[in-house]
Amino acid sequence: MDTGVFLLILAWGLYAGCIYILLAIGLNLIFGVMKVVNFAHGELLMIAAYATFWVYTYSEINPYLIIPVVVLLMAFLGVLIERLCFRPILGTGKLNEIFLSLGLIYVFQNLAALLWSADSRSIHSPYSGISVSIGSITLPLDYVAIIVITFIILIVFHVFMKRTTVGRAMRAASQNREAASLMGINVERMDMLSFALGSTLAAVAGSLWMISGQMVNPYMGSIPAIKAFAVIIIGGLGSIPGAIVAGLTLGIAENIVPFLMQSFVAVFGVEMSFTAWKDTIAFFILIIVLVIRPTGIFGEKGE
């Protein structure tokens, strides 16, 4: 086994984990405040990726500088979705919320296909040919930048939720909506802000996905969204630290496990590819965690 290759795959896992973390935290935030599960969250990643693509295509601005623009656009879209779609049916039953979000998936997918066709698209970052040596491994500069950006966002998010008045109000609304309302917190405004903030996290994930050279098409949001849901369940529903730990674990595992399996069978002279197992690892880990601890790693009993 080549140690350098192993470390490189580990770094790829960290990159993938960063995308899952950003998606999962946004989902967790929306669920925590509104108690709504938005299955169309992956489509927000897809739209953000397309927004990054088109702004970059027509302006040729450094794609990293496009991220704030995409964040603002997606925050506005998140507010519209919350106001026009989820607000009218809030509290009418989980089945309504589920079918609404499933309907949004098909609306966004078909709208994207109508506007931009079903062809896959990608961009080449201006730093795509630059690598950074870290110890014995060499990583693309974009991957290093994506990991650093994600951890900066996590620090800012933590400070926002713990130290600011709005952040504390959102946490109060997530813990007890009625009590928060009685204390003078505008719960409806917290719903709107949570959806906007969750959408911005999906926007960053979508922009970073596009910048890293991944292919984007109208239907690509489903798999990342499903994995983000797996991250939430593995980490514990509503737990931000759980989402971070589970996201990194999943990203690393889905890259390293197929590599280890392929290395193991190669010892016996068997040629076999396990790359198709990459998307299976998330659900294998999910099953194990649910059997051992149904509430998730950081979930509390009785949730």
pLDDT digits (tens, 9 = 90+) for 163-205: 999 999 999 988 888 899 888 899 999 999 999 999 999 999 9
Q: Is residue 69 part of a domain?
A: yes
Q: Is residue 298 part of a domain?
A: no
Closest to 121 (Cα-Cα) out of 56, 200, 44 = 56
- Degrees to nearest 5, angle at CA 255 with 56 and 273: 110
The verdict on residue 251 lying in a domain is: yes
For the cut 70, the answer to whether the pLDDT of residue 273 exceeds it is: no
What pTM did the predictor assign?
0.89
* DSSP states of 73-91: HHHHHHHHHIIIIIHHHTT
Question: Is residue 275 predicted with pLDDT exceeding 80?
Answer: no
Q: Give the burial class of 114: count Cβ atoms within 10 A of its Cβ; 0-12 exposed, 13-18 middle, 19 or more buried.
A: exposed
pLDDT at residue 302, as a whole number: 45
* Residue ranges making up the domain that contains 108: 3-292
Count of domains observed in the chain: 1
Picking from 208, 186, 155, the residue whose alpha carbon sits closest to that of residue 20 is 208
Query: Can you give the CATH number for the domain in which 236 is found?
Result: 1.10.3470
State the angle between helix axes of 141-163 and 240-267 in degrees (0 to 180), rounded to the nearest 10.
Answer: 150
At position 142, the amino acid (one-letter code) is D
Calculate the average pLDDT of the chain: 86
Q: Report if residue 248 sits inside a domain.
A: yes
Any idea which of 136-140, 177-181, 272-276 has the lowest mean pLDDT?
A: 272-276
Q: Indicate the pLDDT class of residue 266, thresholds 50, 70 and 90.
A: low
Does 42 map to a domain? yes
Assign 224 a pLDDT band (cuts: 50, 70, 90): confident
